[in-house]
Structure 1
Amino acid sequence: MRPAQAIHNWQADQKGDPGLPEQKPEYVSAFRTLYGYAKPHMWGFIGVFCCTLIAILSDLLQPFLMKIAIDDNLLSGKNDYKGLLTICAIYLGLSLSSLLFTYLQSNMLQNIGQSIVSRIRKQLFGHILKQSMRYFDRMSSGSLITHVSSDTEALNQFFNQVLLSLFRDGLTLIFIIVLMFQLDTQLALYCLILLPIIWAIAIAFRSFMRTTYQLARTRLSRLVAFVAENLSGMNLVQVFHQQKEQEKQFNERNSQYFQANLREIRTNVVFGRTFDILSNLSIAFVTWIGGNAVLGQHLEFGVLYAFITYIRQFFQPINTITQQWNTLQSATVAITRIWSVFANKPDVMDRELAPVDLRKEELNEDEDERQASLSSFSLEQVKGRIDFNRISFSYEEGIPIIRDLDLHINSGELIGVVGTTGAGKSSLISLLCRFYDVKAGSILIDETDVRDIPQATLHRLVGLVQQEPYLYSGSIIENIRMFDKSISREDVIRACEFVGADTIINKLKDGYETKLSERGSGLSAGERQLISFARIIVFKPKVLILDEASANLDSHTEQLIQNALQVVSQDRTTIVIAHRLSTIMQADRIIVMSHGEIVEQGNHQELLEHDGHYKELYEHSQGNVAV
């Protein structure tokens, strides 16, 4: 997808959000889109422009003062000490003025730049949080980390370095040319010959430099993604003694990034040194032409002195701009990458309740029924009946995971779901939680399609305990109530007592205020699972799902979960996915899945008598495997 089209698609999705800029898709570019973020700071940019203007004039008038001192005083033989003191005082005042307004412009631009980048970073993280699970299936965490950190930092450098250079050095060039024409028109015209040469060099380097900087950032993204992947799977790396292999792969990626950086540096050095050589040749040329004019008494010495000073200053802003060229290229690449993230539309989105046009005599019956169902849907009144109506689903086209599955669960029913790996058990739960949408059919909760229920409501309605619980950095109590201050400490403690986690937590040094590190390291798998179970209980879901929640628990902890489950499943629809059949033997009904289909269902005893898939799984779990 082209960047312009991607940005257009993203903007079309973001209509109604006043914080995001709207652009015409066919003309939009990365930097033009930034105008929407810069527009609220227009008065600040005007202030920066004014400060920059005063600072530049303060710098550039100093050589002109020296020209006056040399030609109108020293070489004229006036020996006007009072006039010289006046010129010195003005020179000092200009120096102080340059210092003051340079300080002001830098601080003002820093403040504007940081505000814009902070806003983009906030919206970028918020946009990533809204993405569907399918997006995270195809995007590495390292790439997303790079977008939020490195790419936004490249934007920050654009505002604080590149934009400042364009303001300051661009105006400096213009004023230097004006002052050179004021001093001597013929000599100024000779110097203008340099402009086409400079332009040609810049064009020649531009495409090559952009490719170089994009290569460096891409390899950095891959390196970060590899490190993130290894840190998250460090236990596997160590268990299977993969340290040397992973170090080898890291060194390969690090070497590739190193080579890309060297290429970037070499390109920058060649580009910069080309201008240095051109600067020195220009000064020599002006000195030769101007010196002959002075010797022939066609030019005043003070004018030549000022001209040489200006020609030096002429190349200083050019050198500064070229030094920022790599930052400009990095920012261009970063903006394109950031907007490519914004261009991604979530696969799963809330449906808006369409307004009813009372002037129409007829309404679509299905739409009318859907709106009536949704408007009457209340979280407090949910009973918990679930209907999977002939659903089909696949992660990739042509590879079906669930095929025409039809399942109806009564409110308050405890359902066990078993099957071999790849049978579609977890996919079924992901569809109920609406991490993905079905390809065909529908899933209803109390006769309301889950696609018509706002996701925030659905996720309060359906509580999920997964096999690998995730805990955040923070206290135990905050991890349980998920930083929701409306949930009291007493409710948290009651939930922990309910699942049997209270005893374990009270043994810790700081009890419920114990600080957990990322992913809850320091706690056993069973202890983390109990805390995640208490987290679900405290939110009081109408539907409870345990997805292999007891797979990593010892027998004692599993018994605690079983005891809690018997109580918490009362008057609540409960779905338990389990490899350990002991977890679901007492279920009201057991669903046996194979290759995305329900092949058997019934209670434990009925399925054993059926002498089918379930009996085979049960015998395997008991160790009765025929040789």
Structure 2
Amino acid sequence: MPSSSATATAGNAVSNEQKSKSFAAFKHVVNYAKPHKLTFAAIFVCALLGISADLLQPYLVKIVIDDHLAKGKAEFGFIAMMAGIYLTISLISFLFTYLQNNLLQFAGQSIVAKIRKDLFRHISKMSMSYFDKIHRGSLVTNVSSDTETISQFFTQVLLSLIRDGMTLVLIIYFMFRLDATLAWYSLTILPVIGLVAFMFRRYLRQAYQVTRSRLSRLIGFIAENLSGMGLIQAFRQEEEQTRRFNEHNQSYWEGNMREVRANVLFNRTFDILGNLALVLVVWLGGMAVFHKSVEVGVLYAFTSYIRQFFQPINQITMQWNTFQSTMVSMDRIWKIFSTEPEVQDPLPERKAELRVEKTRGKVDFDHVTFGYAPSSPVIPDLDLHLSAGEMVGIVGTTGAGKSTLISLLNRFYDVNRGSIRIDDVDIRDIPQQQLHRLVGLIQQEPFLFSGSVLDNVRLFQDDIPREQVMEACRQVGVHDMIMRMPQGYDSQLSERGSGLSAGERQLISFARIMVFEPRILILDEATAHLDSQTEQLVQNALQTVSEGRTTLIIAHRLSTVMHADRILVMKDGRAVEEGTHDELIAMHGYYEQLFNHAKQASEEE
């Protein structure tokens, strides 16, 4: 068994590593504030002027009490002048506090908007392997909730540190100006405050971490259920999913209540300390007034300052929970920013330029080996060569490696061994943006965004003319359907194109291909869920979009690939047969088994 000292050393190492990561996260986020240095300088000046004006008010009352009222002087003109000064500095305090808050909100919201923008851009550049491991709900929480928490740091915590920290310093200055002895007595409570803050720190941080983690799981569960609502209702899973939701909701509620209890206990402890300090000052000051060693006006001003003395301390400590929550959010966001995509663009010296108009579309899979886990290859060794303009069908049972092949060509993943080349150029040497311009993908479930039909075809690229989009839709046979919609090409589609049939959504995705004109076209089970009539429409569109392009068709229905130039039959990640439909049938091999099975299933329908 390891010794206790070894365990402690390991624990300290983990703690130091966590602190180092937290510091790196904090430093990274704070760097976003650098472009706003002048704004923060203006905030500091406004805070100084506003707080100074505010803290002068008790001192003015002290002058009126001790220098005039206590001495029996009732000069109306002097009191009116002091009242005017009091009103003026109140207005000055209001003005600069207003400016300070507006400037801070502007800077804070600008910073967080930039963080959110960079975070979304970074996530969009991550490799597909990243999304295989990270729950979508966590990413939604990072982009929305965590960035909002960081916004609170700049608009609440930072404001408290500037305003309340400056207030505290100025109050101490005024208290020592009034009476040094009473001021020293008041400061004796500060070590107790520091001790309480230290004791609560770890407990509060743990409470925030638990709450954020449970919120992430709750959001993920909701997103998952909303996406699969059709399946839930079809299999009457409403009660079960509601039960599971209640478990997540209850867990989040318990975490929230733990956080609330910690905050209430933390804040009320400071209220008690503040009241004890006030009682101490009133008692000591009252005795001093009784013995005529302190004037009444001084005691009034001192009690005003001691009340205000604990307000900024209380405000700063109340922001401690927000700061702890911010640190957790910063850690989570920094974890994303510090994760580099597994698939990287080539270095400048290796970068190859392939222009779309000059690319022929020749594709070579040279002894490719790939596995999502290196120890379990999905494709053990594939050697496949496609001529420019050739149409190749890829068939096989589920798990044969068909879709994996397409993911590798799109470079969603990098091969473990071997290479994939387009026109004799390794795709790892082609910038990803250019590669995805060369390779067009039509998936089994085409994704449509919330927006107009026009924008869904041209994917929100306004530089693509409307006429070009309309011509593309005519070529694939979807123009008439679009024109029957209430607003034609300006008709708004909801998320995923609900309201359109599967065939209509697929034809719109075909129109995208016609607009962007890739040299290599991939259809991933594009007709798997279509009825025979709709499939024929899609087949006609396929003939149009595949003309002059190298085309790979992954097919569940063998009828989709029967007219391909060549059919590749895959089994267990290997190409076991290859040829035209007639050649493969004549072999009486694995393809014939698949064909007969599909024919029998079609007859049974």
Could you say which residue in structure 2 is the equivalent of 1:602?
A: 579
Describe the superposition over 1:452-500 as per-residue Cα deviations: whole angstroms up to 9, x where unpaired. 1111111111111000000011111111111222322222222212222
Q: CA deviation at 1:28?
A: 4.5
Q: In the aligned structure 1, how far is the partner of 2:256 from the partner of 2:427? A: 50
2:473 alignment counterpart: 496
Deviation at 1:78, TM superposition (A): 2.1
State whether structure 2 residue 446 is matched by structure 1 residue 469. yes
The Cα shift of 1:504 comes to 1.9
Residue-by-residue CA offset, 1:486-529 (whole Å, 9 max, x unaligned):
32222222221222212322222222221100100001111111
Q: Is the 8 A contact 1:481 1:487 kept in 2?
A: yes
User: Are 1:516 and 2:493 counterparts?
Assistant: yes
1:141 matched to which residue of 2?
Answer: 136
Distance 1:324 1:75, change over 3 A: same
CA contact (8 A) 1:413 1:574 kept: yes
1:615 aligns with 2:576: no
Give the AA of the match of 1:167.
I
| 1:223-302 equivalences in 2 (<5 Å) | 223-302=218-297
Q: Does 1:435 find its partner at 2:412?
A: yes
**Letter of the structure 2 residue corresponding to residue 546 of structure 1:** L
Q: What is the match of residue 320 of structure 1?
A: 315
One of 68, 71, 76 as aligned partner of 2:71: 76
1:414 aligns with 2:391: yes
Does the 8 Å CA contact 1:3/1:340 hold for their aligned counterparts? no
CA distance in 1, matches of 2:215, 2:480: 47
Report the Cα distance in structure 1 between the residues aligned to 2:127 and 2:342, rounded to whole angstroms. 6
What are the within-5 Å matches in structure 2 for residues 509-548 of structure 1?
509-548=486-525
Measure, in 2, the Cα distance between the counterparts of 1:312 and 1:515.
59
Q: CA 1:626–1:549 in 2, change beyond 3 Å: closer, same or farther?
A: closer
So what's the TM-score if we normalise by structure 1?
A: 0.92
CA apart distance, 1:33: 2.5
Q: Supply the distance in 2 between the matched residues of 1:624 and 1:190 (Cα, whole angstroms).
A: 92
What is aligned with 1:162?
Answer: 157
Cα distance in 1 for partners of 2:127, 2:286 equals 72
Partner of 1:13: none
Whether 1:389 and 2:366 are equivalent positions in the alignment is yes
Contact 1:475-1:515 within 8 A present in 2 as well: yes
Which residue is 2:5 aligned to? none
- What is the rounded CA distance, in whole Å, between the counterparts of 1:420 and 1:5 in structure 2? 48
Q: CA deviation at 1:442?
A: 0.2
Shift of 1:5: 8.0
Distance 1:319 1:128 in 2: 39
Question: Does the 8 Å CA contact 2:28/2:334 hold for their aligned counterparts?
Answer: no
- What residue is the counterpart of 1:364 in the other structure? none
Shift of 1:175: 1.0
What SS does the corresponding residue of 1:544 show, helix, strand or coil?
strand
Q: Is the 8 A contact 1:6 1:343 kept in 2?
A: no
1:255 is aligned with what amino acid? Q
The correspondence for 1:580, drawn from 557, 562, 572, is 557
Task: Give the Cα separation in 2 of the matches to 1:4 and 1:45.
Answer: 32
Q: Deviations over 1:77-106 (max 9, x none)?
A: 122222212211111111111111100100
Q: Which residue of 2 aligns with 1:480?
A: 457
Instruction: Tell me the equivalent position of 2:119.
Output: 124
Seen in structure 2, the aligned counterparts of structure 1 residues 478 and 154 have a Cα distance that, compared at 3 Å, is same
Q: CA deviation at 1:4?
A: 9.8
State whether residues 22 and 327 of structure 2, in contact with CA within 8 Å, keep that contact through their aligned partners in structure 1: no
Measured after TM superposition, the shift of residue 399 of structure 1 is 1.6
User: What does residue 91 of structure 2 align with?
Assistant: 96
| Residue of structure 2 equivalent to 1:212 | 207
SS in 2 for 1:324: helix
SS of 2:420's equivalent? strand
Cα-to-partner distance string for 1:399-429 (whole Å, 9 max, x where unaligned): 2111111101111111000001011000000
Structure 1 equivalent of residue 43 of structure 2: 48
Cα displacement string for residues 284-343 of structure 1 (whole angstroms, at most 9, x for unaligned residues): 111111111111111111111111111111111111112212111111111111111101
Task: Note if contact 1:3-1:336 (Cα within 8 Å) is conserved in structure 2.
Answer: no
List per-residue Cα deviations over 1:432-463 (Å, max 9, x = no partner): 01111101000011100111111111111111
> Match of 1:329?
324
Amino acid at match of 1:522: G
Letter in 1 for 2:401: G
Q: Which runs of 4+ in 1 moved over 4 A?
A: 1-7, 25-28, 624-627
Look up the equivalent residue of 1:228 and give its one-letter code. Answer: A
Pick from 365, 368, 377: which aligns with 1:400? 377
Gaps of 5+ in 1: 8-24, 355-369
2:422 counterpart of 1:445: yes
| Contact map agreement 2:21 2:331 (CA 8 A) in 1 | no
Aligned-pair identity in percent equals 56
Matched residue type, 2:141: T
In the TM superposition, what is the alpha-carbon distance from 1:619 to its structure 2 partner? 0.8
Q: In 2, Cα distance between the equivalents of 1:626 and 1:392?
A: 38
CA distance in 2, matches of 1:497, 1:3: 63
- Residue 187 (structure 2) aligns with: 192
Secondary structure in 2 aligned to 1:198?
A: helix
What code does the residue aligned with 2:263 have? N
2:22 and 2:151 map into 1 onto residues whose CA distance is 24
Assess, with a 3 A threshold, how the Cα gap between structure 1 residues 78 and 624 changes in structure 2: closer, same or farther. Answer: closer
The code of the aligned residue for 1:468 comes to E
Give 3-state SS (helix, strand or coil) of 2:576's partner: strand
Letter in 1 for 2:547: Q
C-alpha distance in 2, partners of 1:245/1:606? 52
Name the CA distance, whole Å, in 1 between partners of 2:91 and 2:373. 67
* SS of residue in 2 equivalent to 1:39: helix
Amino acid at match of 1:499: V
Residue 529 of structure 1 contacts residue 549 of structure 1 at CA under 8 Å; is this kept in 2? yes
Q: 1:2 to 1:231 in 2, by over 3 A?
A: farther
User: Contact between 2:438 and 2:520, CA under 8 Å: does it hold in 1?
Assistant: yes
- TM score, norm. by length of structure 2: 0.95
Give the superposed CA RMSD. 2.0
Cα gap change, 1:6 to 1:315, in 2 (>3 Å): closer
Distance 1:351 1:624 in 2: 47
